[in-house]
A and B are shown apart, each in its own frame.
Chain A
Amino acid sequence: MTESGLAIETRALTKKYGRITALDGIDLAVEAGSVFGMIGPNGAGKTTAMRLLLDIVRPTSGAASVLGSDPRTGGPALRRQIGFLPGELRLDARITGRALLNHFASISGPVAPGAMNAIADRLGLDLERRVRTLSKGNKQKLGIVQAFMHEPRLLVLDEPTSGLDPIVQQEFLAMVREASASGQTVFLSSHVLSEIQQAADAVAILRSGRVVTVSSVEKLRLTATRHVRAGFVGVTAAELHQALSGIPNLSGLAVVNGDGPTELTATVTGNIDPFVKAIARFTVADLSVEEPDLEESVLKLYGVDTDEASDEK
């Protein structure tokens, strides 16, 4: 652990490919032992940032410190303490998964006896099959095993859940939480917020090579968008409209006057308190507030609408 207690620190880290700026001066500080998520659409610079930390590519300017060392000079000794899962994992060896993992074990930190089998079993991966015959999801599992098996101090995982089915995703997220609980630092990226939301302590949002914001998941939740639905008795649509029109963070208000209760749907961004206070004077027959959708609130930060983003996946 570094003296500052940071597993990763970058200062104005910049990477240009010719005239294209992939990373435009990012500052990140990842606490040792934490789970740090990086989200952003494809091309935001997430993969470039990770590749810089592993000295696969070199910065144009700025500096990075990983486990207290500069990746440029840390060399094999530093990388042995890191487990890396690349974003586009391409494995096509003729050998079995076990043989490939044995090879990776020989070029990384020492692997405890049984660790390989334990992780593979957890993810439901057959190590006796030849790598090139594995499905995309199973190759991804193999990638996860090689990243975790030597219990590295730092895990750098680029889009780790891509190709995994939901049950394995949950198992993977449990592994991330356990790694963090045992003092390992996890730095992971995604364009799917739900997994960051479940696993991460803090989140950096990248867009076009810049860090838009760094926030705890809790804070992000506070700025989150909530869909609300409520039913009222003894009040007209017009009265409701009038009562709620003064609330600045309320949008998409729709009121339906049916046979039964008057139904209201709306979207509240951020603080929910004004909305609650405003409806409290009426007789509330029914109320539901959806769990805030971080994805939607983050996409608002990106300035893209939700439809576009789902196309991107």
Chain B
Amino acid sequence: MRSNLLPLFRRSLGDSWRSLIGWSAGVAGALFLYLPLFPSLGGSESQMAKLISTLPPQLVRTLNYGNITTGAGYTESTFYGLIGFLLITIAAVAWGTAAIAGDEENGSLELTLAHGVSRQQLVLERMLAIAVRLAWLALLSALIVLALNAPSELHLTVANEAATAAAYLGLGLLAATFALAVGALTGRRIYATSAGAGIAVLGYVLNAVGNQTQSLDWLRDISPYGWAFHHTPLTNGADWGGLGLLYGFSILFVIVAVIALRRRDIAG
């Protein structure tokens, strides 16, 4: 007799291992591309520093390149704040959308729910599968960063890297759970994807605008991106308030998804 523990969770993971390999390759590729370049770019007297000083300050602030000459600033500006953010956001939104809205639009949600599973169980098991995949991407990034820490002369501490990976994961979870919740509310792929991508883009824009002047700095406090990276965890360690907001809203969105899916009709 096969194990019947968490059947939907196991199916979700089994279905997505190919895409997970792809996303893992993306994360690893970006890190292996950027981080080894730091020794030849970094330092306050480096070419990089001179190049940055010639750029318009607004652009530097938008890209969050102000601290790019330190190992922590460089890692955050190139990977966690930019390429890595993009990768985890796209993966999160795609998975969050597929879990309910995608499955419903392609007609397979109906058959699954006609079996011996509850709607709450479906939301929770599928979300757990998404969380595990996102956590793997965050963990993978942390392992690679720490592996390259010494050879790339980044001078990062393990604790700060862990805090950053946690913020990175929180940012991914927020986009995934928001896409999941909107998918549970509407059953429409386009709305779920727009919502998940929208919250990520909006967060990035608010953060970039808030970074321009001190008087707009409050915008970074209402931006999920700001919750993750405003207080530069790679330099300063965990921002517990920011992490609390990221994970708190993620949990809230999962609850919304459960309630929404339990209440409504499933489209055929």
Contacts and interface: CB of A to CB of B under 8 A. Distances in A.
Interface of A: 47, 51, 54-58, 75-77, 79-80, 82, 84, 86-95, 99, 102-110, 143, 146
Interface in B237-268: 265-266, 268
A86 B116 contact: no
Nearest to B266: A56
12 contacts: A47-B268, A51-B268, A56-B265, A79-B115, A84-B111, A88-B268, A89-B111, A91-B108, A106-B2, A106-B4, A107-B117, A108-B116
Given A95-B15, A103-B7, A146-B111, 12 more contacts: A56-B114, A56-B265, A57-B266, A76-B116, A80-B115, A86-B110, A87-B268, A102-B2, A103-B11, A104-B115, A107-B117, A110-B1
A130 to B, nearest CB: 13
A95 B14 CA distance: 9
Contacts of B111: 84, 86, 89, 143, 146
Contact of A86 (B1, B2, B106, B114): B114
Contacts of B108: 90-92
Contact of B117 (A76, A90, A99): A76
Contacts of B22: none
Interface residues of B, number: 25
Nearest to B111: A86
A108 B115 contact: yes
Sort A-B residue pairs by CB-CB distance and give the 10 closest, nearest first: A80-B116, A90-B107, A106-B7, A57-B265, A76-B116, A84-B114, A107-B115, A54-B114, A108-B115, A56-B266
Interface of B: 1-2, 4, 7-8, 11, 14-15, 18, 106-108, 110-118, 121, 265-266, 268
A75 B265 contact: no
Nearest to B265: A57
Given A90-B107, A95-B14, A107 B7 contact: yes
Contacts of A51: 110, 266, 268
Contacts of A102: 2
A87 to B, nearest CB: 8
